[in-house]
Structure 1
Amino acid sequence: MRKSVRENLISVLLAFACSLGQPVIAHAEDSTDYHPQSFTQPLIAARGTVSPAGGGAVYLKPEDRCNLVVKEFGWDRGQCGTIDQLIFGFTPEIDNLTVEKPLSDGYVSLADWDSSNRSAEISSIEDSFKESVKAQSERSGKDIRFDGWLVYPQIDKAKNILYYANILNWGGERTINISVSIFDRQGYVPMKIVPVNGNVTSDDVQKIVAASAAAYKPQAGTAYFDFSSGDKIAGYGALGVLATMLGVKYGGAASAGLIALALVVLKKGAFLLLLPLVWLRRLFGRRKKADG
């Protein structure tokens, strides 16, 4: 029996995940092929580079990753440009890492993170996120719930990153969503990460975040500490970035274009702004059960 595109994709990426030595090319019956590339050299991103963190990782070139999100998640091709790089098996602990196109609203001041009402503001953002999850659950007909923070939102000022890990329950299945934003001179670069192990600890998340952030190097002169008087400054602070990472609006944080994309993606049921490419991990799991 000939394999479907979905089955071919699972076979190819699973083969790489199992560290088979030679590249594999899948030929799908409808000519939509995926050609995973061995990740052995730094990848060029919009405002920096992403370097390998270990052996065995692979990535998809732009056309392949666009075919993936269009076919598997129902995106329109015009939305493919929101992804900068898509890497599988980035480290043994990371199933997949999505580096998104950077936000260029200007230098983001982190001063609001030190304000006395930060906890109250994060609670408000969390409430909005819960409402988004509830709405998505109703639209999709799936039981989806926010089960809290595995790692509460925090900023590492030495690395100039904002990150968190939250827990989403999909019909009784626990899924961890790790998000990192790397601040630079022009705004920030968002990353979304799916861990291999759905039962990771907060210490595991810290290691995953550190490895992911360390792999990204900004272009010369664009790092956060390269800020100079006269540079454009964003109309929101770190709390606004957190809201945007979660796909909810907070003051002037989220651009109209991003909110519009969020609504399109949520209506299609892909949920990618709230959750990375977790479905690939689930496909791997179904494949392993079928082969077992």
Structure 2
Amino acid sequence: MNAPLTPVTVIGLGNLGRALALALVERGHPTTVWNRSPAKADPLVAKGARRVGTVAEAVAASPLVIVCVLDYDAARAALTPSAGALAGRALVNITSGTPEPVRAMADWAAEQGADYLDGAVYAVPQTIGTPEAFVLYSGSRAAFDAHHPTLDAVLGAGTFTGEDPALASVHDMAVLGGMYGMFAGFFHGITLAGTEGIPAADITRPMVRWLVQAAQALPEFAGDIDSGDYATDTSTIDINRWGLDAILTAGRARGVDDRLLAPLLGLFERQAAEGHGSASLARAYESFAPGARRAG
């Protein structure tokens, strides 16, 4: 006979919270839900979830409590009235936040006797629980070890990044920073193409194809940065400095704002001026974060 599945509580039924709660219900977990606007739970209740009227009831219902609300202030406001019910429970917070509020939340949860785990989810609601989704966790190793099979099944494959509860948030800020840098190049690129009448969809197809290939260079660049060895015979500072300067020159001639990419050219130019034009493109990092501590 199969062991009964872990009861789980979901606090917060925005797009991500609803998708998570639905995945739990569909996999057979006894699922308790709470949301500030109770009507959001109606479709979940129709499928078998249990709606409760207070957060305290929700916390008391399950050994695993997942919080998915707007921010850490909202999470703390929702949980504070139920503080007495948190002892002995695993509290998994997948709310987005910066490291300082994460550490404050973890300290508060520990004071209540809860095992706190912070999570950064890389998924849209439609990919929750699929192989495309993944999650980075930090905080209580005990909570991760006890519950990651459940979390992996309903959220996505999880990786434990360390016992400092803020580590998942730091990872998240870094990963999303890379994403927004990509978006900056995308917006500049489609604007430049548009000045010649090329539709955004037409330029996006080859852009995506090339970006997928270009991303394969990132692990090599990361190795250069961690080792401090920037010798290369391929993608040098000078090659990329000339290329980016040409892109910005063409854009300015067509009235395209260069503010998204000009700072990157500034890093390349600073490195070239210091005599590093033949070094790996990754050496631009040294101008961006001089003296930064490297891992290892």
Q: Same fold (TM over 0.5)?
A: no
User: Quick check: which one's strand share is greater?
Assistant: 1
Report 1 or 2 for greater relative contact order, CA contacts < 8 Å, sequence distance ≥ 6. 1
Task: Pick the structure with greater CA Rg.
Answer: 2
TM-score between both structures, scaled by the size of structure 1: 0.23
TM-score calculated relative to the size of structure 2 = 0.23
Flag the structure with higher helix content.
2
